[in-house]
Chain A
């Protein structure tokens, strides 16, 4: 299982990661070796086995959607907004999406 440089570029784009040329080659090699290893699972007979999402048998739990309880803390709200690299008033400023 060997990934080409082109495939690495495609995956990096899907993953929203910019890579330089040297990294693309290094990643092609390293990713291929790990993908080669995890191919090992194709040896296992999984017929009639149900997939599980976790080790403990969890059931969905619900709670009241009471956001005022969580964000009523004004200091926390301020800290969250201040963590933004580009805050304007109470908004996160983002680059324009439309050309």
Chain B
């Protein structure tokens, strides 16, 4: 039996039937990590001792005949911008190189209650700023499918870990596509829930009105299983939303019939820049859906053309404000003690931040600072918030007609290292199909479909706000159909 390709449900059943132990499962994953992670580099830190100890506890419960939770004893990889108490959390930045998390993120607290097993912390672009993990201060992650290519980003380490069999599932964070795009590039499922569905408490913030934590998994069922556990209102995140707003429990009990669903295909997403082979595979899923009885409708999201510029203004402004907290005084990298001569406060700020942040982080902080500075605020930030409203209205209109919107996740398959690092704009364009989802706050999921030249292709489904369960149900239909 290959223990490194199990889904959550399969692993859960095997544990319950005592056909495997959690310790065996965890060991199998660490063996695979030892064999291949020196090439892939999905992890920034590993938790072997802690994981085995936690696994033993679960095994003891099973041997006593106690019932176990769905995620109990099953290995998970956690993106290194999510806090686990007592464990180093770096956000892949030098400025947090030696920082130990003093508390658990809410999602971690929830997973601990399930007795989930934390294998390690995964690599990412520094502060989640990037689409390839090439911006990690600790070196990039390689795509397990093709080591010469990027795994996508910013949750590239999480997607690579799941694909490579280093963990059964992973948590990532998504600000403009950072869960969905790497899932697409690595050939796994990546789900960004509705903004507010999952607490962000304990997630190192990049752009607070866009950030959302979500699962990366081997199939839609697993993504749903993890979502079911981590979601819910949280007193420590004032933007989190009460689950009472929707029937978020009935994913398992009442699957949808393909003839009941209405799918919108936005014409603005199938224009220049889209790789023709990727387009072909997406279109073939669409015709298959139509043949099986789903209603397909061409729709328009007219403000799509301005989504990327809107996203960048808002993200840059919020990121520069969020990263102002790194000052070399309270925690993190500091030059305060570097010289014998007493330094001025300003110099501590300038040097700690100047040396602690990588190039992309500094670039975004500067752009955000510029955008928010006196005289430019209205021209950039307020204008972007108005266009955000128009983009949101596009989705509101569309969801009056259709249940979900179907698009490619990315315009291309995984690109090679260095291909886009010279020109920041070309890197930003990798997110062109994913950023609108964050602006509108709606949920989005990427599922793998037929590959192009041996490289994974992601299909993105977008749902209505707080209709996460319906989105997952439809994603499952498409997953089954495209197998």
Residues of chain A at the chain B interface (Cβ within 8 Å):
8, 11-19, 27, 30-31, 33-35, 37-44, 46, 49-56, 58, 60-61, 63, 76, 79-80, 83-86, 92, 94-97
Contacts and interface: CB of A to CB of B under 8 A. Distances in A.
B158 interface: no
A83 B235 contact: no
Contacts of A63: 235, 238
Contact of A15 (B86, B239, B310, B366): B366
A61 to B, nearest CB: 5
Mostly, the A contact residues are loop
B349 interface: yes
Mostly, the B contact residues are helix
Given A30-B424, A55-B392, A58-B196, 15 more contacts: A16-B346, A16-B353, A18-B355, A35-B367, A41-B313, A41-B383, A41-B384, A46-B387, A46-B390, A55-B388, A56-B239, A63-B238, A76-B103, A92-B330, A95-B342
Contact of A55 (B313, B354, B355, B465): B465
A11 B441 contact: no
B408 interface: no
A51 B363 contact: no
A88 B194 CA distance: 44
Nearest 3 A/B pairs, CB to CB: A55-B441, A18-B354, A51-B385
Contacts, number: 177
B385 A53 contact: yes
B306 interface: yes
B329 A92 contact: yes
A85 B195 CA distance: 35
11 contacts: A31-B370, A34-B363, A37-B309, A42-B383, A44-B383, A46-B387, A51-B385, A52-B389, A53-B209, A84-B329, A94-B329
Interface in B346-371: 346-351, 353-355, 357, 362-363, 365-370
B480 interface: no
Given A17-B365, A54-B209, A44 B306 contact: yes
A14 B312 CA distance: 20
B425 interface: yes
Contacts of B346: 16
Given A80-B102, A86-B337, A55 B195 contact: yes
Contacts of B380: 38, 41
Nearest to A73: B103
Contacts of A53: 209, 385
A54 to B, nearest CB: 4
Contacts of B310: 41
B434 to A, nearest CB: 14
B366 A11 contact: yes
A31 B86 CA distance: 38
A96 B342 contact: yes
Contacts of A50: 386, 389
A67 to B, nearest CB: 13
B330 A84 contact: yes
B19 to A, nearest CB: 39
Interface in B433-466: 438-442, 465-466
A43 B386 CA distance: 13
B177 to A, nearest CB: 15
Interface string B298-332: 00000100100110110000001000100111111
B285 interface: no
B147 interface: no
A43 to B, nearest CB: 7
A98 B16 CA distance: 66
B246 interface: no
A9 B348 CA distance: 17
B239 A58 contact: yes
Contacts of B103: 76
B86 to A, nearest CB: 8
Given A44-B387, A49-B390, A18 B312 contact: no
B196 A41 contact: no
A15 B194 contact: no
B382 A51 contact: yes
Contacts of A58: 196, 239
B284 interface: no
B369 A54 contact: no
B320 to A, nearest CB: 7
